Structure formats: structure tokens, C-alpha cells
Amino acid sequence: MNQALLLSVFVVASCGLAYELIAAALASYVLGDSVTQFSTVIGTYLFAMGVGSWLSRHVTRDLVVRFIQIELMIGVLGGFSAAALFFAFVWFAAPFKLMLYLVVFAIGALVGLEIPLIMRILKRDLAFKDVVSQVLTFDYLGALVVSVLFPILLVPHLGLVRSALLFGLLNALVALWALWLFREKLPRLGWLRTQCVVALLLLGSAFAVAGKVTDLAEAHLYSDEIVHAETSPYQRIVITRWKDDLRLFLNNNLQFSSRDEYRYHEALVHPGLATLPGARRVLVLGGGDGLAVREILKYPQVESVTLVDLDPAMTTLFSTAPALTALNENALASPKVRVVNADALQWLEENNERYDFVVIDFPDPSNFAIGKLYSSAFYRLLDKHLTENGLAAVQSTSPLYARQSYWCVVTTIESTGLVATPYHALVPSFGEWGYVLISRRAYQPPADYSVATRFLTPATTSALFEFPKDMARVEAEVNRLNNQVLVRYFEKEWRQVIR
Amino acid sequence: MDRRHFITGLGAVAGSTLLPACSPKAGKPIPPGRLLGSSLTLGHRLRSGAFPEPSETRRLPVVIIGAGIGGLSAGWKLKRAGFEDFLLLEMESEAGGNSRAGKNAVSAYPLGAHYLPLPTREAVATRELLAELGVLKGDPRAPRPEYEERYLCATPQERLYRNGLWQEGLFPQMGVAADDLAQYAAFQERMADFRQRRDSDGRRAFALPMALSSRSPDLLALDNTSMRDWLLAQGWDSAHLHWYVNYACRDDYGCSSDAVSAWAGIHYFACRDGEAANAETDTVLTTPGGNAWLADGLAQGLDERILPNALVYRVADTGRAVEIDLFLPQEARSIRLLAGQAIWAAPLFLVPGILAGNPMLQQAAQKYSYAPWLVANLTLKAFPEERAGTGVAWDNVLHDSPGLGYVVATHQQMRLRRGPTVLTYYRALSELSPTDARKRLEQTSREQWAADILDDLARPHPDIREQVTSIDIVRYGHAMARPIPGFIWGGARSPFAADEPRLRFAHADVSGFSLFEEAQYRGVLAAERTLDRLRIPYASSLS
């Protein structure tokens, strides 16, 4: 019996430390500044334990029953702490800190009650010196084990939400075990047993569906109603709608808003294509939403458009969903359009065809894998696919928010001997956005647009090629496969913007 | 099979993970694969020595024995000089030696050596080869030439897994004390000094090719102590620094820092100073198939001259010609070649068993010892799950591992998404004596090696077992000569480096350690000496 209680001290101590670490890690994760978060959380927690210990003198009767109930309370409160704090953060940012310290304080106070109670239960059978030495030994051992397991096993394998639930379950199991150990001495056994079972069921089922918790939370990361969500082998595709505004998110990054996407896509396509009356063959890399293709198909001289997009889920969605085909004017179903679901780079390496106009709409260079697609090696590969008078338009991040990144793309294109013509446009949902036209000889903006536009006019086009002072050219290194400076610039610059 | 790393950041290495992050999943079957390394069985046949008498004798002006990098380089130089009347004999079914590659539906992948550092200015032959292959652009003797971008290793080049985290560079950056950092900085500074140092004749302290190094007695004396003892004698006792240097020795020479001579150990850090117009000095040249492109480049146009599956079992210099007896397993007969000039480009441990009538060379060859290696190629249907920290690099090193880490065959690809890949895992069996290690290599099953490797890789990649579809293991009983203390400058090599009237040696073993540049230098040198004897004019590729 005593050994069993000591073992429960071990478990109880592990759980206590775990909640403290989880709260501190979660606070660091969402608020940053981990030194502050860890010290304030640990400080609050230890102080609360002191309060709990002090309060334990007021527990005078039914020690075992109180102990079991406290275990259940810690289990439920601690177990759901991470999930609750996470939701609190997603829903309302302001009182998050208040909630954090309240939760930490409550768990701390309850944990502070535990050890004095156990010592008093054990004191009935053991000498005081043995009680103190044994209880404290197991207390500290439990803390050690969790502090080692937390970074190595728990966070990487379970994550914070499920780790907390796991420890909640452990607390509840200790309660159940204590119930069994003292089953012959306890009053109202049935009622206590019901409490245990309810707590265990709550925690167990939450643990089982914890994967879904992130989905629920995700819904609140988007401000609008989610009308479509799917996870393809390549990415998470989410479409939201608010009134007439459709938005596409890929892996939580906004790709377009139907309110102003015409600005983005007109600027991507027309300054280049409008200067190529002889353009017959067009290639689009990325852009599975078909919106660039919609703009390209406005030119009657274009005979074929090849769209290479990795994800069949994207091209299928934008070929079939009525709201989306309305947006891209059923561009992907046009007989002129051939959709290829392949890795654009592999496809470029394996095909030798040349194109009069190429649209390059890759994601921003946020990691080394994508950074390669903005390297001098990539532009040399592109060069092999351009006809003699061909042009390519590249989306190349924001010259305002990521100024050096933008000019790095320009510098890199120039390093390969190609001509780079930088320009930009304002897309309200993105901000000021940058593009580069790639050509073999000097490029002249179009004097007129033969196709219908909502944004571009011949008179305003020249302004796209003017860079105001805060977006003017800055020095940048050439982005090479073997230095990947662009990813480093981009990381540095966007980190400053996001704050 | 040399693996060389340069220092990218400050820090030192220590500590060990408290607990393995994930225990191996018992019961999961080992993925299928092949066990390669036929030299083991053919080598045994050589030792048993029963071959039919030669049924035919042919005369040839020049014969090259062995079509690894040394032999191919000799053939390459002969052909460049316009001389093509020679035969290259290769025991294996294809040329390339330690620089061969495999290929499957996913990617090409190295079976051994996998990269070449930017060549030094002395490595003229290497630069000429790279220029011929279009990888070095412009003048091969330019101080800072431009290299073809797709061959320069893409960023990030290397990372280290330690205490549950991946970090950039090979030098630990977390939890490292100031004293360790200071020792590491001092070590780096000393290596930089060695890199700059020249003797009164203008020779570099540590040159690559090593034959061009200074013979200054104080430098050569470094060969008599071990790398580990030399570090300690400098007052450097940091466990982090010792881990780092030991890793370098295992990686490059297949033996630990207490078994490598300080001269060889310092050579590793101090010889590379190759520069490029479009890359940092520590950049390497690599391809999915490792160094096979270099072997293929050397072998270009030599197809007709290479005889594969030819097992040379006896070589003797008769004073008028070199008799070369070889067994052709596919024809089940032996033939004898009488070569006016012969170049031995096979590893030197074969000398005692094959070269007849030359006790001096046989004795010299017995002073060599060899490091056994294991190379495993794991084919994955997708990139494995990753632990926290910096993203996947070309070379991925595990801190507390019997292995040396793995390289990613698809690293040089430009792709939107990471798809299937091949990981090449290296392991030098440096913890055992070479004899015991060879025994272990022979007796351990493929399944056992595969299980060990999966356990090792499951620490940073918990789901690796779900992703791996096959594991091929290549065993190298004698992967490379070991530069143990007293060996490099102790005289064992010199009889093989000498220019004899008919038979000369062209293998990295003549330099004492296994680097592409050394093998190529020895091959080209032997070819040029042969051309001298034949009175054929040529432009030297050695200076």
C-alpha cells in the first residue's frame, strides 16, 4: 500500500512538472520571448504550489477522498490546459495572458495540495523522517523523468495538446488507483467512482480526437467561412468566402482574393504578352487556379497554353467547382489549354520545347527547396525554353516588404546574360507586389492593350516600371544554388514585416 | 571514398544524447536489397591461387593493370598525348574503382566516393579534366575559375544532428563552453597558417597532390606522432575539438585520430585552398552518382581499351618485358600479355600475392594497412520525417553514431517538392583493428547491417522504416590505405613512387591516402613517365 502510494507520488510529480513545462512552452510558442514566458510561468506555478501547501491545513477530514478529487481536478484542468489555452489564443488574443496565469495558478495550487496530503496519509503508518525522505525522493525523481522526456519524446511525438491530455489521463488513473487501494475505507464509493470514470472518459476521448483539434483551431485562423478544404498529397487547400469575396489559401498562405486578383494576374500577364503579337505558344509554371490562363486566353493569336502544376487536386478543383470556374472563366477547359500535373522543374528538364511567353508563378522563396527556383541555374534552364523573341514574366515577391529579395531576383536574372525589366503593381490583399520580365533584348512596355482589362491602361502602364524611393534598387548578391542568398534575404525581411 | 569537411562555424562538440529518442520497432521486416563488393570473393580466389596455365601470349607496348581512378587517369593521359596502343585490365565488370555509381528508378547514387573539393592550383591534371568536361570554364590554370553551377554542391552543404536537433555546419553550436570555442578557434587559426605556409623552395607545407609538399624536417616530423597526441601536445584537450577532429579522420581516412599520423591529419585541414569565381572555398563538386562522372570523364573514348572481368594473378618483370598473366572467368582460360611498359594501378595490398620476383616491393607493400568500409544505399519512397532544426543538407552527420552520416543523392535537383530519394550512408569500421573489422564485414549479414543502419537513422528520422523500400550494402575490405604514424614519410611508399625502366605504380596508395587528386596525379605521372620512355612528346599535366 505504501509503495503504491509512493509510486503515485512519482506520477503526480511528473504530471505537475509536465503542466508547468507545457504552459511555458505554449506561451513561448504563441507569444515568443521564451525567457520571459518560462520565468513568469515557473514563478507563478511555484508560488501557487506554496499557496496550495498552505491551504492544505484546511483539509482536515476524508483525506483520501479529497486526494482523489484533487487528482481528478488536476487531471481535467491540466489535461485540457494546452487545448484551452490554444483556443483562447486563436479566439481572443488580449486576455490570453490573464487566462494563462489563471490556469497556471490553479494547477499549481492544486498540485501544491497533493504532496502534503499524501504525506499525511502515509504518516499514519510510517515514521515522519521516512515519510519526508521517501515522498520527496519520488517527487524529485518524477520531475527529472519528465524534464528529460519532455523535449525528447513528448513534444516531438505528441505535441503540446496531446502531451497535456496524456498527463491528465495519468492523474485520473492515479485517482482511480487510489480509489481501488482504499476501496474498503471510503464512504460514497460509487459517487467517487463515477467522478473518476467521467474524468477518464473526457480525457480519453479528447486524446483520441486531438488530431481534429488542430482542424477546429484552423477554422478560426481564417476570418471567413471555409467553403472548401482538402489535403492533397502536396498541400492543404482551403477556399473561404465572405460575401462575394472568395479566397484561396495554400498551406495557410493567401494565394488570391477574388476582389483584387485581377490586378495581380493582369500585371503578371499583359505587360509581357501585349508586346508579343506573334505569340503562339505559352507556358504557365504553377498557377493551377487558371487565373493567369484566363488572361492569356484573351489573346486570339495564342494557339496553345501549357499549364504545368504539380497538384491534380488544384487543377481539378479549378476545372470543376462552379464558383471557381466562374472566376477563371472556365479557362482550364479551353481546347487550347493542356494541363500537365508534374513537377515544373522536372518537366522543364525533360522537355525541349520553346515558348513565346512563359508565366512563372512559384511560391515565394521561403525555403531552400523553393529558393532553387529563383537561382541563376533556373534562369539558365528557362533560357533554353524561350524562343528568340520570347518573354517570361516572374512573380518575384514584394519590392516594398522584401526589397533586397526582390532586387536579388533582378540581379540573378541579369547575371545569366538575360535582360531583366522590373515592374510592380498594387494588389490590396497582398500589398505592393513585384514582377520581373525576362527577355533577350531590351523590352518596351506596350503602347496599347488590345484586350479587355480592369486594371491596366496604356497611360498608367509606364508607372508600373517606375520605382519610388522606398522600393528603389538596392545591392544584392546573385542567388546561386550553392549560396541561396535569396532565402536568407527573404527570411530576414519578412520576419521584420510579420511582427 | 574520402569524405572531407571544412569548418563553417565556431563551436565544439561534446555530450551524448541521454536517451535514444525512439526505440527500434521490432518485427518490421528488413527491406530487400543486394550485398555488393565482389572484390571480396575475387580476392579470395587470388589467394587460393589456382588458375589455368596461359593458353595464349600477346605482345602490347603498354598495359595498365586496374581501371580505378589511377589506371583511368593513366589511360586518359596516354590518349591525350595521342598514344592509344594500350590495354586497361579491370578485375570488376566495370571501370571506376571506388568512384563507381549505381542507378535505379529514383536516382543515380554513389557506391563509394561522392565528391571533389574545388581543386587546388597545384592539381593541374584535375583542373584540366574538369575543363575538358565543361565543368571548369575558361583557363584551367586560372586562380579563381568559374565552375558549372549544377555541379557545385547546393546550399545547405552540411548539417549535424546532436542532442535531438539538427544544426547547420558540422561544428556544434549549442551548449559549448567558451574554452572549447577558444581551442577550436586556435586550431582553425593554426590550420590557416599551415595552409599559407611555404618553404624556402616555394613549396606549400601541405600540398595536394601531396608529392608537391614541402620536405622541411619539422613538418615531416609530424608524421611520427598521432593526430590525437599532436592536439594534446598543443594544449588542446577540448572533448568537442577532439570529436570534431576524430570525425574528420574517420571520414577521410577510415581510422580514428589516435591511429592517423598528425601529418596526414593536418594535411586534411591544410591542403585545400581551391578557389572559384562563383563559390566559396569550402564548396565541393558533386553529382547524384557521386564521383562516377569523374571516372566516366576519364574513361571517355577508352571503351575499346578497357578489358573488364580480367583477373591479373601474376606479374613479373623479366628484364625485357613485363609478363602479365590474367584469368578470364567468362572464357575460363588464362592469357599472358608481354608488355613493353606496364603501369600497376591496382591497390598495393595485392603486390605480395601477384608481383613475382621482387622481394623489396613485396616487403614494402606489407607495411601498408587498409581500412575496411561499408557503404549503404537506402532508397526511400518519400523524404523521411525530420527532427527539429535546420533542414536537410547534402551531407547529414549524426553526432553519436558509429556511422559517418549520409548524403542525399537528389540534393542537386531543382524540384518544387521533395519526392523519392536515395540516401547513401557511410561507415568506416574504425573502432576495430583492420583484421577484426574485415572479419566482421565478411561475417555480418546484409540484414544485420540494414537493421543497424535503420536503428541509427531512426533517431533523426522516426519513420524511416516506413519510407525505405530497399537497402543495398557495398562492402570494401580494403577501401583505402591507412596513413598511420610513421607511414607516409617512413619509406614504405618510396619504392612505389620511383621511376623504373618498365614497371611503375599509379594508385592513390602510392601517396598513402585515398583522394581523387592523388590517384589521378599518380596515374598521370606514370603515364608521362611511360611516354618519356616511348619518346612520345606531350604537354605535361603536372605543372
With 70 as the cut, is the pLDDT of residue B5 above it?
A: no
The string of pLDDT tens digits covering residues B191-226 is 999 999 999 999 999 999 999 999 999 999 999 999
Q: How far apart are CA A499 and CA A492, in angstroms?
A: 12
Q: How far apart are CA B223 and CA B206, in angstroms?
A: 12
Under the banding of pLDDT at 50, 70 and 90, the label for residue B29 is confident
Q: Are B18 and A152 in contact (CB under 8 A)?
A: yes
Q: Are A111 and A74 in contact (CB under 8 A)?
A: yes
Listed in order, strand segments (DSSP E) in B118-224 are: 136-137, 146-147, 158-162, 165-168
Q: Report the candidate in A410, A407, A377 with the shortest Cα–Cα distance to residue A489.
A: A407
- Burial-class residue B501 by CB neighbours within 10 Å (0-12, 13-18, 19+): exposed
Q: Report the candidate in A264, A261, A262, A233 with the shortest Cα–Cα distance to residue A247.
A: A261
With 60 as the cut, is the pLDDT of residue B450 above it?
A: yes
pLDDT in the model for residue B185: 95
Under the banding of pLDDT at 50, 70 and 90, the label for residue B510 is very high
Beta carbons of B154 and A380 less than 8 Å apart: no
Q: Compute the average pLDDT of residues B455-474.
A: 95
Beta carbons of A480 and B156 less than 8 Å apart: no
Q: How far apart are CA B213 and CA B517, in angstroms?
A: 14
Q: Active-site positions of A?
A: 361
Binding-face residues of B in 254-293 toward A, CB within 8 A: 278-280, 283
Beta carbons of A378 and B19 less than 8 Å apart: no
Cross-strand pairs, B341:
B62
Under the banding of pLDDT at 50, 70 and 90, the label for residue B19 is very low
Binding-face residues of B in 462-481 toward A, CB within 8 A: 462
Q: How far apart are CA A22 and CA A41, in angstroms?
A: 10
Beta carbons of B155 and A482 less than 8 Å apart: yes
pLDDT in the model for residue A338: 97
Q: Are B89 and B324 in contact (CB under 8 A)?
A: yes
Place of cell 488590345: A450
Q: How far apart are CA B223 and CA A115, in angstroms?
A: 65
Binding-face residues of A in 35-74 toward B, CB within 8 A: none
Is any Cβ of chain A less than 8 angstroms from the Cβ of B153?
Answer: yes
Q: Are B227 and B257 in contact (CB under 8 A)?
A: yes
Is any Cβ of chain B less than 8 angstroms from the Cβ of A480?
Answer: yes
Q: Compute the average pLDDT of residues B105-129.
A: 96
Number of Cβ pairs < 8 A linking chain A and chain B: 86
Q: By percentage, how much of chain B surpasses pLDDT 70? A: 94
Domains in chain A: boundaries: 2-218, 220-255, 260-498
Beta carbons of B280 and A368 less than 8 Å apart: no
What residue in B sits closest to A376 (Cα-Cα)? B149
> At residue A390, what are phi and psi to the nearest 5 degrees?
-70, 160
More confident residue, A266 or B4: A266
Q: Report the candidate in A300, A345, A102, A61 with the shortest Cα–Cα distance to residue A187.
A: A61
- Burial-class residue B542 by CB neighbours within 10 Å (0-12, 13-18, 19+): middle
Mutation target among B165, B395, B414, B421 for the A interface, most CBs of A within 10 A: B414
Query: Given this structure, which CATH class describes domain A260-498?
Result: alpha beta
Q: How far apart are CA B285 and CA A143, in angstroms?
A: 50
Q: Are B149 and A380 in contact (CB under 8 A)?
A: yes
Q: Report the candidate in A401, A395, A394 with the shortest Cα–Cα distance to residue A470.
A: A401
pLDDT in the model for residue B420: 93
Q: Report the candidate in B32, B104, B34 with the shortest Cα–Cα distance to residue B469.
A: B32
With 90 as the cut, is the pLDDT of residue B368 above it?
A: yes
- Burial-class residue A259 by CB neighbours within 10 Å (0-12, 13-18, 19+): middle
Question: How close is the nearest chain B Cα to the Cα of A357, in Å?
Answer: 21
Q: Which three cell numbers stand for residue A490?
A: 527573404
Question: How close is the nearest chain A Cα to the Cα of B116, in Å?
Answer: 15
pLDDT in the model for residue B11: 29
Under the banding of pLDDT at 50, 70 and 90, the label for residue B18 is very low
Beta carbons of A377 and B21 less than 8 Å apart: no
pLDDT in the model for residue B131: 97
Is any Cβ of chain B less than 8 angstroms from the Cβ of A362?
Answer: yes
Place of cell 528557362: A382
Q: Which three cell numbers stand for residue A394?
A: 516572374
**Domain A2-218 of CATH type 1.20.1060:** no
pLDDT in the model for residue A13: 84
Q: Compute the average pLDDT of residues B274-301.
A: 95
**Cα angle, residue B521 at apex, residues B517 and B522 outer, rounded to 5°:** 120
In this complex, which of B154, B280, B417 lies closest to A481 when CB atoms are compared?
Answer: B154
The string of pLDDT tens digits covering residues B51-89 is 899 999 999 999 999 999 999 999 999 999 999 999 999
Q: Compute the average pLDDT of residues B23-45.
A: 70
In this complex, which of A310, A370, A481 lies closest to B149 when CB atoms are compared?
Answer: A481
ipTM above 0.85, yes or no: no
Beta carbons of B149 and A376 less than 8 Å apart: yes
Residues 6+ apart with CB under 8 A from A198: none
Is any Cβ of chain B less than 8 angstroms from the Cβ of A126?
Answer: no
Q: How far apart are CA B186 and CA B240, in angstroms?
A: 13
3-state secondary structure of A356: strand
Under the banding of pLDDT at 50, 70 and 90, the label for residue B286 is very high
Max CA distance (Å), chain A: 98
Q: How far apart are CA A198 and CA A205, in angstroms?
A: 11
What residue in B sits closest to A480 (Cα-Cα)? B149
Listed in order, strand segments (DSSP E) in B392-501 are: 395-398, 405-408, 421-428, 468-481
Q: How far apart are CA B415 and CA A481, in angstroms?
A: 12
Is any Cβ of chain B less than 8 angstroms from the Cβ of A111?
Answer: no
Beta-sheet pairing, B54-65 with B284-285 = unpaired
What residue in A sits closest to B152 (Cα-Cα)? A482
The string of pLDDT tens digits covering residues B123-163 is 999 999 999 999 999 999 999 999 999 999 999 999 999 98
Residues in chain A with CB shorter than 8 Å from the CB of B418 are 369
Q: How far apart are CA B248 and CA A494, in angstroms?
A: 37
More confident residue, B50 or B360: B360
Residues in chain B with CB shorter than 8 Å from the CB of A481 are 149-150, 152, 154-155, 412, 414
pLDDT in the model for residue A8: 83
Element (H, E) at B153: none
What residue in A sits closest to B283 (Cα-Cα)? A482
> What value does the CA radius of gyration of chain A take, rounded to a whole number of Å?
31
Q: How many residues does chain A have?
A: 499
Residues in chain A with CB shorter than 8 Å from the CB of B17 are 152
pLDDT in the model for residue A6: 81
Q: Which three cell numbers stand for residue B18?
A: 541521454
Q: What is the pLDDT along chain A (499 residues), one digit of tens a residue?
A: 677 778 888 888 888 889 988 888 777 666 655 677 788 888 999 999 999 999 988 888 888 888 888 989 999 999 988 888 877 766 654 477 888 899 999 999 998 888 888 888 888 777 888 888 888 888 888 888 888 888 788 876 777 788 888 999 998 998 888 888 888 877 778 888 888 889 999 988 888 887 665 555 544 555 566 677 777 777 778 888 877 889 998 877 788 999 999 999 999 999 999 999 999 999 999 999 999 999 999 999 999 999 999 899 999 999 999 999 999 999 999 999 999 999 888 899 999 999 999 999 998 898 888 888 999 999 999 999 999 999 999 999 999 999 999 999 999 999 999 999 999 999 998 899 999 999 999 999 999 999 999 999 999 999 999 999 999 999 999 999 999 999 999 988 887 775 4
Q: By percentage, how much of chain B surpasses pLDDT 90? A: 84
Mutation target among A481, A484, A488 for the B interface, most CBs of B within 10 A: A481
pLDDT in the model for residue A30: 60
pLDDT in the model for residue B43: 65
